[in-house]
């Protein structure tokens, strides 16, 4: 086993880290990211990392993609736009890459890679969060395509998206085998987009409802075959649970750096607070969680690149990274004390942005269910 990176991989990481630090030096407060900021991500190649070069992307595998997302998460001061871009790429672009018709690939992927288009993942429903086999949104076969009806309750990027990757029930008696995937432009007749939700964290990435009212989707915009939607969604979740959470690895690096610097410079009772074991041991535990999660994530991505069955390792990675991020953010607030509670310091924002990491892309408990199942329980 080798744990080092090639010279080219190191240079790619360093270049992305420097570029992102230069372009996104401050958090985005009290607003959604704008089109200029989105196009900046596209210009840096970060919206198309794993999209094939034939469609304007970087053509990277999962491990190299994750390393770039890690640099983005470490260098970008706003975690919301890191999450927005990753959801766009992994939950939306990758299903199109792997399962869409050639017509749909050429219609959507170049714009998604460049930043001309913003994509929204329309899966979650009011009564179908973790249970994606019971979707209330329906797709009825008709001449030349399907007609969609129903509402998706929590669509990341939804209020500003130009295209949606969505899933609907085509056979209500077939469970997860009765779900079909679609790629739907916002301009399609019958698409209704709700206002952005007011959220606890990740405030710069908008989320809201998307409703389909007798929305016709042509056969050319079906993902895979009818009934394959459940498998397609799980494929996209593999990419999301592994590569998206590389952004949280980068955030953990940034939190650790800030916490260590504060522990060195903040003095109480005539000495740096880092001299206290309560602080130094907390920082040591943060480092253990970070490096353990990092290795799990790299292994999951490496396994994806080899084509091996990666269900167990992806679940282990997602659980470890998300829980490490939340624990690390809470520890950082504690190390900063009262200052960490103030918005101006930017520490409490880290906590609010890490809480949802244990919820989206499959909750921590869902990851534990997957792990237990893979163990044979």
Going by C-beta distance under 8 Å and a sequence separation of 6 or more, which residues neighbour residue 312? 370, 371, 374
The most distant pair of C-alpha atoms in the chain lies apart, rounded to whole Å, by 79
Tokens of 303: 């396994």
Find the helix packing angle between 246-265 and 277-306, rounded to 10°: 160
CB 145 within 8 A of CB 103: no
Going by C-beta distance under 8 Å and a sequence separation of 6 or more, which residues neighbour residue 225? none
Catalytic positions: 240
Strand partners, 192: 211
Phi, psi of 257 (to 5 degrees): -60, -45
Three-state SS annotation for the chain: CCCCCCHHHHHHHHHHHHHHHHHCCCCCCCCCCCHHHHHHHHHCCCCCCCCCHHHCCCCCCHHHHHHHHHHHHHHCCCHHHHHHHHHHHHHHHHHHHHHCCHHHHHHHHHHHHHCCCCEEEECCECCECCCCCCCCCEEEEECCEEEEEEEEEEEECHHHCCEEEEEEECCCCCHHHHEEEEEEECCCCCEEECCCCCCCCCCCCCEEEEEEEEEEEEHHHEECCCCCHHHHHHHHHHHHHHHHCHHHHHHHHHHHHHHHHHHHHCEECCEEHHHCHHHHHHHHHHHHHHHHHHHHHHHHHHHHHHCCCCHHHHHHHHHHHHHHHHHHHHHHHHHHCHHHHCHHHCHHHHHHHHHHHHCCCCCHHHHHHHHHHHCCC
């Amino acid at each position: 086993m080798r744990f080092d990176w090639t010279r080219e991989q190191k240079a790619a990481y360093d270049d992305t880290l420097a570029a992102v630090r230069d372009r996104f030096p401050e958090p985005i407060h009290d607003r959604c990211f704008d089109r200029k900021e989105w196009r900046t991500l596209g210009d840096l190649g970060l919206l198309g990392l794993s999209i094939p070069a034939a469609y304007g992307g970087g053509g990277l595998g999962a491990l190299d993609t994750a390393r770039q997302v890690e640099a983005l998460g470490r260098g970008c001061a706003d975690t919301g736009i890191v999450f927005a871009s990753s959801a766009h790429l992994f939950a939306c672009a990758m299903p199109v890459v792997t399962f869409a018709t050639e017509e749909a690939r050429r219609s959507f992927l170049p714009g998604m890679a460049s930043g001309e288009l913003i994509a929204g993942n329309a899966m979650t429903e009011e009564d179908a969060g973790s249970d994606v086999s019971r979707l209330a949104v329906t797709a009825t076969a008709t001449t030349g395509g399907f007609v969609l009806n129903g509402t998706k309750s929590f669509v990341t990027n939804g209020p500003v998206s130009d295209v949606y990757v969505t899933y609907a029930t085509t056979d209500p008696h077939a469970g997860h085998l009765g779900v079909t995937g679609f790629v739907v432009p916002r301009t399609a007749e019958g698409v209704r987009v709700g206002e952005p939700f007011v959220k606890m964290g990740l405030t710069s990435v908008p989320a809201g409802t998307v409703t389909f009212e007798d929305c016709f989707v042509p056969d050319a915009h079906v993902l895979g075959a009818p009934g394959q939607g459940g498998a397609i969604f799980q494929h996209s979740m593999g990419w999301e649970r592994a590569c998206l959470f590389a952004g949280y690895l980068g955030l953990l690096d940034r939190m650790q750096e800030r916490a260590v610097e504060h522990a060195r410079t903040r003095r109480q009772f005539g000495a740096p607070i880092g001299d206290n074991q309560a602080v130094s041991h907390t920082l040591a535990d943060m480092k253990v969680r970070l490096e353990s999660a990092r290795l799990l994530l790299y292994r999951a991505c490496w396994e994806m690149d080899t084509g091996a069955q990666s269900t167990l390792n992806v679940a282990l990675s997602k659980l470890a990274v998300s829980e490490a991020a939340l624990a690390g953010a809470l520890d950082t607030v504690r190390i900063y004390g009262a200052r960490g509670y103030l918005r101006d310091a930017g520490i409490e924002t880290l906590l609010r942005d890490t809480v949802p990491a244990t919820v989206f892309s499959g909750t921590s408990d869902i990851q534990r269910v997957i792990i237990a199942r893979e163990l044979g329980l």
